[in-house]
């Protein structure tokens, strides 16, 4: 653990994910990757670019167009001792596989009284902000968080993307791995020798004193911008990258809120029964008397994800985050 921190070249999140898959395929012959158009094309986002060429068609598999089949056969492969990493092309196309994920993938370990392990990773590019057509911009995390047996994680940066995907592949539990597609092309330095944190640990990515902005995936960058804007107004905002949604690192959330006494949770998914609802409930259970203001949530509306020309209205933006911050201070 005490390795000297070696900084590698700047990488995009796509590059980091590609590197994680490559290294996992290299290190463990049981790792297999499957999904639609992931072979020759390298995936519609090129996350698997070059992997089929390098590892062959048996390990990097262009699947038929059937998500239930992709996840269902991944379960079978896992039963046979493989570690499948599957790609769902876009968030909105995971639902044909929902049955396999919820009734099978999530429950088999428990049903077998621990005898069966399903180390399956379901990678899903998710979230909006790329001007896409219907079903290509959604944030379905709450469905998976609500299902016991699934671990759910979402990186916000290329560095985390590399390590969290490695950790997800190493996990013996199934992991729903949500990749914030609008951050796919953002670059940051990736350290390929040292894990930044365990998979299920939240991290303070900007310390502050007056309010905690809690976010994950695509919204972390937004919250960092909000903290910057807050600083200009003389407010010290802490930004917490939750990283994992199941389990939720409630201890770190509590530790932060006890100091800052205010919290705003931000996500792209609808606020109604979203991740923020769970976080807010836990915070009031654990630190009610430390709070100066109600925990507020900023997110999508209880409406279908709108056509792309309206998505900036639907998605939480800097204005809406700052508005919530103002409200928290007004209480």
List of residues contacting ligand TPP (CB under 6 A): 36, 65, 67, 89, 93, 96
d(CA 11, CA 299): 29
Residue in this structure with the two tokens 């390795």, named with its chain if needed:
3
Q: In this structure, how many other beta carbons lie within 10 angstroms of the beta carbon of residue 152?
A: 25
Interacting residue with other proteins among 44, 116, 188, 197 (CB under 8 A): 44
Contact 88, 94 (CB under 8 A): yes
Contact 236, 210 (CB under 8 A): yes
CB of 200 to other proteins, least distance (A): 31
d(CA 265, CA 64): 39
Tokens of 233: 């107004």
d(CA 5, CA 171): 24
Nearer to ligand TPP, 63 or 244 (CB): 63
Q: In this structure, how many other beta carbons lie within 10 angstroms of the beta carbon of residue 304?
A: 12
SS3 50: coil
Helix then strand then coil, % of the chain, to nearest 5: 40, 20, 40
CB of 256 to ligand TPP, least distance (A): 39
Residue span binding other proteins (CB under 8 A) among the ranges 91-99, 162-170, 217-225, 286-294: 91-99
Nearer to other proteins, 39 or 119 (CB): 39
CB of 63 to other proteins, least distance (A): 8
Contact 158, 221 (CB under 8 A): no
SS3 217: coil
Q: Return the one option of other proteins, ligand TPP, none that residue 134 interacts with (CB less than 5 to 8 A, by type).
A: other proteins
39 binds other proteins (CB under 8 A): yes
Nearer to ligand TPP, 43 or 119 (CB): 43
306 binds other proteins (CB under 8 A): yes
Q: Return the one option of ligand TPP, other proteins, none that residue 231 interacts with (CB less than 5 to 8 A, by type).
A: none
Examine residue 247 and say whether the peptide bond preceding it is cis (omega within 30 degrees of 0): yes
Nearer to ligand TPP, 43 or 217 (CB): 43
The candidate with the shortest Cα–Cα distance to 45, out of 25, 23, 16, 73, is 16
**Catalytic status, residue 135:** no
Q: Return the one option of other proteins, ligand TPP, none that residue 320 interacts with (CB less than 5 to 8 A, by type).
A: other proteins
314 binds other proteins (CB under 8 A): yes
- In angstroms, the Cα distances linking 102 to 77, 108, 109, 193 are 17, 10, 12, 35
d(CA 309, CA 68): 31
Interacting residue with other proteins among 204, 272, 290, 293 (CB under 8 A): 272
Nearer to ligand TPP, 97 or 223 (CB): 97
129 binds other proteins (CB under 8 A): no
CB of 90 to ligand TPP, least distance (A): 6
Residue span binding other proteins (CB under 8 A) among the ranges 75-83, 134-142, 193-201, 208-216: 134-142
Interacting residue with other proteins among 69, 196, 207, 294 (CB under 8 A): 69
User: Residue numbers of the site for other proteins (CB under 8 A)?
Assistant: 36-37, 39-42, 44, 62-66, 68-69, 92-93, 95-96, 131-136, 271-272, 301-304, 306-310, 313-314, 319-320, 323
Q: Return the active site residues.
A: 136
């Amino acid at each position: 653990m005490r390795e000297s921190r070696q900084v590698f070249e700047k990488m995009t999140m796509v590059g980091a994910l590609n590197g994680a898959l490559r290294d996992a395929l290299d290190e463990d012959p049981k790792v297999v990757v499957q999904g639609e158009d992931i072979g020759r094309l390298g995936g519609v986002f090129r996350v698997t670019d070059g992997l089929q060429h390098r590892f062959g068609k048996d390990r990097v598999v262009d699947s038929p167009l059937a998500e239930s089949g992709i996840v269902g056969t991944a379960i079978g492969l896992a039963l046979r001792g493989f570690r499948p990493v599957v790609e769902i092309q876009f968030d909105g196309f995971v639902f044909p596989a929902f049955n396999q994920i919820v009734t099978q993938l999530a429950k088999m370990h428990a049903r077998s009284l621990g005898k069966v392990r399903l180390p399956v990773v379901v990678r899903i590019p998710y979230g909006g902000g790329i001007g896409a057509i219907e079903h290509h911009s959604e944030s379905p995390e709450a469905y998976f968080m609500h299902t016991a047996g699934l671990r759910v994680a979402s990186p916000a940066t290329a560095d985390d993307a590399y390590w969290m995907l490695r950790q997800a592949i190493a996990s013996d539990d199934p992991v729903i791995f949500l990749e914030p597609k609008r951050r796919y092309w953002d670059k940051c330095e990736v350290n390929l020798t040292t894990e930044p944190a365990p998979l299920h640990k939240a991290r303070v990515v900007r310390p502050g004193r007056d309010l905690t902005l809690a976010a994950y995936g695509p919204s972390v960058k937004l919250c960092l911008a909000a903290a910057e804007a807050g600083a200009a107004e003389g407010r010290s905002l802490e930004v917490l990258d939750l990283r994992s949604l199941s389990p939720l690192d409630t201890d770190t959330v509590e530790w932060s809120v006890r100091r800052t006494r205010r919290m705003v949770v931000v996500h792209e998914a609808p606020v109604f029964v979203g991740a923020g609802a769970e976080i807010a409930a836990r915070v009031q259970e654990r630190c009610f008397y430390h709070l100066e203001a109600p925990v507020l949530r900023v997110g999508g509306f209880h409406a279908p994800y709108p056509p792309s020309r309206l998505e900036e209205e639907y998605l939480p933006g800097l204005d809406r985050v700052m508005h919530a911050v103002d409200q928290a201070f007004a209480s």
